[in-house]
Amino acid sequence: MLMLSRLVFMFIYGDGDELSLLWKDVLTAFRIGVIFDIKVLSFGLLPLYLLALSQLVKQAVIQQEKIRKIVSGYSLFLLSLYAIISVIDFNFFRFFNTRISVLMFGVIEDNTTAVLKSVWTEYPVVWISIALVIFCYILHKLIVGQLKKMDGELTVKNNAMKVGLVLLFTGLYFLGLRGSISMAPLDVRHTTISSSSFVNALTLNGVFALKTAYTDKQRSEINTDIQAMLSRYGFDSVSPALESYLGKKMSGKDSLARNLITETGKNEFLDKNPPNVVFIIMESMNGYYLDLHSRESNLLGQLEQELPDCYVFRNFLSSGELTIFSLEGLLAGTPLAPISQSVYQNRILTSSVALPYKERGYQTAFVSGGEMGWRNLDKFVANQGFDSIEGKTVLEKYYPGAATCEWGVHDEYTFRRIYEILSSEKSSRPRFVVGFTISNHSPYQTPESYKSYPLSLSKQMKSGLKVPAEIARKNFLAYQYANDCLGRFIRQIRNSPLGENTIIAVTGDHANHLLYDFTDRDNLKNFSIPFILYVPEKYKPEGKRDTKVFASHKDVFPTLFNLSLSQAKYVKTGEDLFSPQAKDNFAIYNYSIAMNSAGCVDFRKSPLFFRWENKESERLVAADQSKDKNIDMLYLKSRAYVASMSYYIMDELNSRKIGE
């Protein structure tokens, strides 16, 4: 059963061309996969094995008929459960492009009603359920039939042989539980057998993936053990990590974390003319979808007219693969998440991006169409320097009858409220506003009043789709609607007096993996999101700027701080993308996949190394780290970055004395 699920997984999700080149690795994956299957079955059937051993004690003898019922019932339960988990694992990969992982618990902790509705909408739940019922019935018949063939007992009279057989079978069973004859028992580290992450994923089964996800969930609790964290990223102490990231020797006896605090330059114009700053986090704003846009397949709406007046960074990645991780990464530069659901949810973090603005007299606001109680976001945001926090409930009071979806109030009302905050004459203070949209989220609903642009699925859109065309169209329509709302907002600002002194920054919380599967060669397509900057003429940096540099969420606020604030201190989470240093910058996704102009390093497990096919290509090929110093440097610097930022936040949570 588990092997069949692996075969189906390979044929449905695998890339034939890639797998044909890696056929030896595929065979190895299936060989190791069998061992993983034996391991999960050994653990699952352990109660029956212990029951069998108990039969060796005369006083514990149970009638054969009762044994058969116990074995039959338990086996049916276990194998049915494994089948259900395998189906969940198969469909989980379809959505997240990974086997069951810690993300599953993040999904469960989301809005449960909305998640269930999304599952019902996007998956053939009824047909899957019917298939599982039929499968379990066949399984029952097979188990009962097999047990009937086992009538009669094998009698061994020789006591020495009895002991020998018990020791032999117990030894074999223990080997099955361990999965290995080496020093280390079989675990997830043994899945890295290829340069292809898909081939590595083939080794697993859904049951072991679920077990690993649960273990990761336990480990993902906010842990402030600095030394353990440093060891995980390959550093003996804090200093070499900071030095590798910052490129300078450490100084300061009080706190090494002070070295991560930097300052914007002196700018008299900004002192006298502080601009409004609006930062928009768009739900699932895929970068790859921008390449699918055309007149007939319109994915941008009014945003298409605004992009020529903006800086658009395309080699850009998100800090997290789930919304809450990206939100906390953006708002506080933390690789440790979710802080909002931890014992530290009420902690003020000096790395909060609102604080430099608040210290300069800005009025700060957070606006979203979503429920602010989601993931305790209201508690977290309230402690990060925002004067006001407005979510679904507040927006519905401002706009009675506002169109809603499963996740809250539609995006047009979020943008409408942000514009009203900026236009308000109640305060003469400059504004810093963070907006978070929710419409482009499964189950992909758009307001009935929305008049869509032409949206036929092009040949390129249909190529490689892993969901029915009707679901893809709903996703593309929601993407179009969100972008249209954004475009109208930028145009409204640009054509008003606010256009002279309002900087608008936009990025996605993460990419959406629902529609397409990508191999490691297309990691940039798979994970990229855009970073869009509208900067009024008076605030633009001088000279032509390179928007092809590699960057990620870590670089958003170092860029905005330097565009908008004079002599402001902030935590160096990344680079100012308009500075000379940006040409050597790197992007990092989920604090575990780094990219730059040299290539890519994936260090989620054992590291995988890639280089670009050629200078113009956006595709990757496997590389040998030892033969490429640039990729080796990327691996070092990205690990040093994650270790440095983790250290800063841990030190903050432990002492609350950073920067004081």
Which of 60-74, 150-164, 396-410 is least confident? Answer: 150-164
Q: What percent of the chain has pLDDT over 90?
A: 65
Do 505 and 364 lie in one domain? The reply is: yes
Please tell me the distance from the alpha carbon of residue 330 to that of residue 644, in angstroms, as a whole number: 16
Closest CA to 275 of 560, 491, 553: 560
Q: Give the pLDDT of residue 338.
A: 86
Burial 365-400 (b: 16+ CB within 10 A, else e): bbbbbbbbebbbbbbbbbbbbbbebbbbebbbeeee
**Are 610 and 578 in contact, with CB atoms under 8 Å apart?**
no
Predicted local confidence at residue 60, as pLDDT: 55
The residue-averaged pLDDT of 346-362 equals: 94
Tell me: do 29 and 123 sit in the same domain. yes
Residue 582 in contact with residue 576, Cβ under 8 Å? Answer: yes
Position 658 confidence tier, pLDDT thresholds 50, 70, 90: very low
Contact 51, 67 (CB under 8 A): yes
At residue 381, the pLDDT reads: 92
Inside any domain, residue 142? yes
Residue of 584, 570, 569, 588 lying closest to 641 (CA atoms): 588
Give me the residues paired with residue 502 across strands. Answer: 276
Which pLDDT value is given to residue 107?
Answer: 64
Same domain, 284 and 205: no
User: Does residue 481 sit in the same domain as residue 552?
Assistant: yes
Long-range contact set of residues 450-454: C-beta below 8 Å, sequence gap at least 24: 450/481, 452/477, 452/480, 452/481, 453/298, 453/301, 453/480, 453/484, 454/295, 454/296, 454/297, 454/298
Mean pLDDT score, 472-490: 97
Q: Of the candidates 581, 611, 641, which is a domain's last residue?
A: 581
Which CATH number belongs to the domain containing residue 509 in this structure?
3.40.720.10
Strand, helix or coil for residue 569: strand
**SS3 labels along 212-268:** HHHHHHHHCCCCCCHHHHHHHCCCCCHHHHHHHHHCCCCCCCCCHHHHHEEECCCCH
At residue 379 the predicted structure's pLDDT band, cuts being 50, 70 and 90, is confident
Calpha distance 194→514 (Å, rounded): 25
The tokens for 254 are 């009080």
Are the C-beta atoms of 523 and 595 separated by less than 8 Å? yes
- Predicted confidence at residue 54, as pLDDT, reads 81
Q: Tally the domains of the chain.
A: 2
**Domain final residue pick, 197, 219, 241:** 219
Q: What is the pLDDT of residues 241-278, one digit of tens each?
A: 999 999 988 866 557 888 999 999 999 999 999 999 99
What are 166-203's pLDDT values in tens digits? Answer: 899 999 999 999 988 876 788 876 887 887 888 888 99
How is 153-210 classified by DSSP, letter by letter? ------HHHHHHHHHHHHHHHHHHHH--SSSSPS-GGGG--SS-HHHHHHT--HHHHH
Domain boundary, last residue among 581, 605, 632: 581
23 CB-contact burial (10 Å; exposed 0-12 / middle 13-18 / buried 19+): exposed
Q: Are 457 and 355 part of one and the same domain?
A: yes
How many Å from the N-terminal Cα to the C-terminal Cα in the chain?
60
What integer pLDDT is reported at residue 15 of this predicted model? 86
| Tens digit of each residue's pLDDT (9 = 90 or more) over 22-38 | 899 899 999 999 999 99
Mean pLDDT of the 126-133 span:
89
- Higher-pLDDT residue of 644 and 66 is 644
155/139: higher pLDDT: 139
What would the mean pLDDT of 470-474 be, rounded to a whole number?
Answer: 94
What is the mean pLDDT of the segment spanning 404-415?
A: 95
Q: Is the pLDDT of residue 295 over 70?
A: yes
- Say which residue, 249 or 574, is predicted with more confidence: 574
- Clarify whether residues 212 and 287 are in a common domain: no
Give the per-residue pLDDT at 152.
Answer: 57
Q: Is residue 239 part of a domain?
A: no
Same domain, 211 and 305: no
- What residues contact 55, with CB distance under 8 A and at least 6 apart? 61, 62, 67
Asked whether residue 603 is assigned to any structural domain, the reply reads: no
Q: What is the pLDDT of residue 110?
A: 61
**For 356-381, what is the mean pLDDT?**
91
Residues forming beta bridges with residue 215, ordered by sequence position: none
Q: What is the reported pLDDT for 219?
A: 60
Give me the mean pLDDT over the 493-514 stretch: 96
- Do 476 and 395 share a structural domain? yes
Strands 593-595 and 608-612: unpaired
Residue that has been written with the tokens 């308009």 in this structure: 578
Q: How far is the C-alpha of 523 from the C-alpha of 529, rounded, in Å?
A: 12
Measured CA to CA, the distance from residue 530 to residue 587 in angstroms comes to 12
Q: Is residue 236 part of a domain?
A: no
What are the two backbone dihedrals, phi and then psi, of residue 410, each rounded to the nearest 5 degrees? -60, 160
Burial class of residue 353 (count of CB atoms within 10 Å of its CB; 0-12, 13-18, 19+): buried
Task: Tell me the H-state helices in 401-465.
Answer: 411-423, 459-462
The 8-class DSSP code of residue 503 comes to: E
Instruction: Answer yes or no: is pLDDT of 322 > 80.
Output: yes
Q: Mean pLDDT throughout 554-564?
A: 98
Locate tokens 């201190």: which residue?
Answer: 569
Is the pLDDT assigned to residue 43 strictly greater than 70? yes
- The whole-chain average pLDDT of the chain stands at 90
Determine if residue 152 is left, alpha or beta; phi over 0 gives left, psi from -120 to 50 gives alpha, anything else beta.
left
215 and 279 inside one domain: no
Are 30 and 128 within one domain?
yes
The whole-number average pLDDT for the span 473-478 is: 96
In a domain, 515, yes or no: yes
Across residues 610-626, what is the average pLDDT?
A: 88
Query: In this structure, are strands 431-436 and 276-282 parallel, antiparallel, or unpaired?
Result: parallel
CA 373 to CA 526: how far, in whole Å? 30
Q: How far apart are CA 185 and CA 180, in angstroms?
A: 5
pLDDT (tens digit per residue) in 146-164: 887 766 556 777 888 888 8
Q: What integer pLDDT is reported at residue 62 of this predicted model?
A: 67
Q: What pLDDT, on a 0 to 100 scale, did the predictor assign at position 473?
A: 96
- 660 pLDDT band, cuts 50/70/90, is very low
In a domain, 237, yes or no: no
Domain extent, residue 101, equals 2-219
Check residue 604 and give left, alpha or beta (phi > 0: left; psi -120 to 50: alpha): alpha
Phi/psi at 391 (5° precision): -125, -160
What is d(CA 440, CA 486) in angstroms, rounded to the nearest whole number? 12
Q: Quote the pLDDT of residue 340.
A: 84
Q: Cα–Cα distance between 438 and 407 in angstroms, integer?
A: 6
Is residue 622 in a domain?
no
292 and 360 together in one domain = yes
CA distance 495 to 478: 26
Radius of gyration of the CA atoms of the chain, in A: 28
**Six-digit token string for 115:** 């998640």
From residue 597, how far is each of 183, 418, 612 by CA, in Å?
40, 37, 8
pLDDT at 99: 87
pLDDT in tens, 208-243: 999 888 877 776 578 889 999 999 999 999 999 999
The answer to whether residue 652 is domain-embedded is no
In the prediction, which pLDDT does 482 show? 98
Q: Are residues 214 and 289 in the same domain?
A: no
